[in-house]
Amino acid sequence: MYRITLIPGDGVGPEITDAVTRVLEATGVFFDWDVQNAGEEVYKNEGTPLPDRVLESIRKNKVAIKGPITTPVGTGFRSVNVALRQELDLFSCVRPCKSYKGARAIYETIDLVIFRENTEDLYAGIEYEKGSEGSRAIIELVQKLSDREIRQDSGISIKPISVFGTDRIVRAAFEYARKNNRKKVTSVHKANIMKFSDGLFLEVSREVARDYPDIEFEDRIIDNMCMQLVQKPELYDVLVMENLYGDIVSDLAAGLIGGLGMAPGANIGKEYAVFEATHGSAPKYKGLNKVNPLAMMLSGVMMLRHLGETEAAERVDSAIASVVKEGKDVTYDMKPSPDDPSAATTSGVADAIIAKMKK
C-alpha cells in the first residue's frame, strides 16, 4: 500500500485526475490517496493557493501526483507549480517524449528525454517591477559597475545559474542515461551570448561529462537545437538544459510526438518526487470531460516505475500503446480532425485502458 499525495489541481485537472487514479488502481497496486487541493479555488477560500498542509503532506508521503494548476498571467498569485518545485527542491524536471504508433506524431521514432533544471534561471522569481525601488537600485548598480545603461522604464528579471545547480541537473541526466542504457547526453545552452550564465552551464556540463566516459557528450546552442529537433530528432537522446529553455523545448518535443495530450513529466529532488503532465489546466475545456488524460496517465506510469512497480508500469504503458494504436477510444486531439464525432471522452479513455489491462 502506497500513501501518495494527490493534488487534483484546477481547470481540467480534477477530471483527468479521476481518469488516472482509476487506471492506476486497476493495476492491483494499492494506493491510499492523501487528497490535497491547491490552486485557484483554494486561494479564494484559504488566502493562499498553496497552503502548508500540501507541502507537509508531500514531505510526509515523499511522492505526489498532481493535475495542472492555473497561474494568473501578470497579476495574482505566483505559480503554485514553480513554488512547489522550489519549496521541495525538486531540481530535476524529467520529461520523456516518445512517439506511440497511431498518435498524430510528426515522426514515429522519437525517443527523447528532456532534463530541465527546475529551481534557477529566470524562473527563480527574482523580479523587480518597472519603477520600483528594486529596479531603480539595480539600474543604478549596473551603470556604476559596467557603464551600461538600462532604460529607466524597464522591468527586471534576474537569471542566476550556479555551479551547484548545474552540476546536480547534469549529473542527474547522466545518471539517468547510465541507468536506462541511453547512449548520449546533449547539453543545450546559449553560451555564445550569455557567457557568464550559459557559459557556466556549458563549462560545468563538460566537467560532469568527464565522470561518465561511457556516455557520449555533446552540446548544442538552443536555437540550433530547436531546428534540429524539428528536422532530425532521431539524432538526440537525453537533453539537459536550463529552466526556461527546458520549458519551451519540452512543448516543442511534445508537438513532435502528437501534442501536449501525450507528454508526461516528473519533478524529482533528492527526497521527494511530484509527477505531473507537461500541459496546463486548459481552462476552456474545464468540466467538459473532453481532454486527453494520457499525459497525466503516462506521468502515473513514471510514478509506478519510481515506486519500483515496474510490472504494473509496463501493463499500463502497453494498454495505452494499444489503445493509441487502435485509434478508436482516443480524445479529439488524437483524431484526424478535432471535430471528429467519434472522439472518446476523458473518462472513456480510462475505461478503454482498464478494459485492455483486463484482457
Binder among 65, 95, 333, 344 for ligand NAD (CB under 6 A): 333
Closest approach of Cβ 127 to ligand NAD, in Å?
16
CA distances from 21 to 31, 214, 282, 283, 286 (A): 9, 39, 20, 21, 18
Binding characters for ligand NAD, 204-243, by CB under 6 A (x = yes)? ----------------------------------------
DSSP lists the bridge partners of residue 238 as 113, 185
**262 backbone φψ class: left, alpha, beta (φ>0; ψ -120 to 50):** alpha
The residue (of 184 and 335) whose beta carbon lies closer to ligand NAD is 335
Binder among 17, 36, 37, 81 for ligand NAD (CB under 6 A): 81
Interface with ligand NAD in residues 148-167 (CB under 6 A): none
Distance CA 115, CA 238 (A): 7
Q: Kindly state the number of chain residues that form the binding site for ligand NAD, as judged by CB under 6 A.
A: 18
Q: Does 99 bind ligand NAD (CB under 6 A)?
A: no
Burial 194-210 (b: 16+ CB within 10 A, else e): eeebbbbbbebbeebbe
- Cβ atoms of 158 and 127 closer than 8 Å: yes
Question: Of 10, 247, 317, 333, which residue is the catalytic one?
Answer: 247
The residue (of 6 and 208) whose beta carbon lies closer to ligand NAD is 6
Q: Does 329 bind ligand NAD (CB under 6 A)?
A: no
- Cβ atoms of 95 and 116 closer than 8 Å: yes
Angle CA 267–270–276, to nearest 5: 15
Question: Of 100, 123, 176, 272, which residue is the catalytic one?
Answer: 123
Is 190 noted as a catalytic residue in this protein?
yes
Q: Does 297 bind ligand NAD (CB under 6 A)?
A: no
Q: Say how many C-beta atoms besides its own lie within 10 A of residue 111's C-beta.
A: 14
DSSP lists the bridge partners of residue 157 as 127
Q: Does 261 bind ligand NAD (CB under 6 A)?
A: yes
CA distances from 314 to 83, 99, 242 (A): 32, 16, 31
Q: How far out from the chain centre does Cα 242 lie?
A: 13
Residue of 90, 243, 239, 225 lying closest to 160 (CA atoms): 243
Q: Does 119 bind ligand NAD (CB under 6 A)?
A: no
The residue (of 60 and 284) whose beta carbon lies closer to ligand NAD is 284
Helix, strand, or coil (residue 67): coil
Is 335 noted as a catalytic residue in this protein?
no
Binder among 260, 273, 298, 304 for ligand NAD (CB under 6 A): 260
Closest approach of Cβ 44 to ligand NAD, in Å?
15
Binder among 57, 61, 71, 166 for ligand NAD (CB under 6 A): 71
Q: Does 5 bind ligand NAD (CB under 6 A)?
A: no
**Residue reference for cell 548545474:** 166
Interaction site with ligand NAD (CB under 6 A): 68-71, 81, 260-261, 276, 279-284, 291-292, 295, 333
For the annotated catalytic residues, the residue numbers are 123, 190, 223, 247
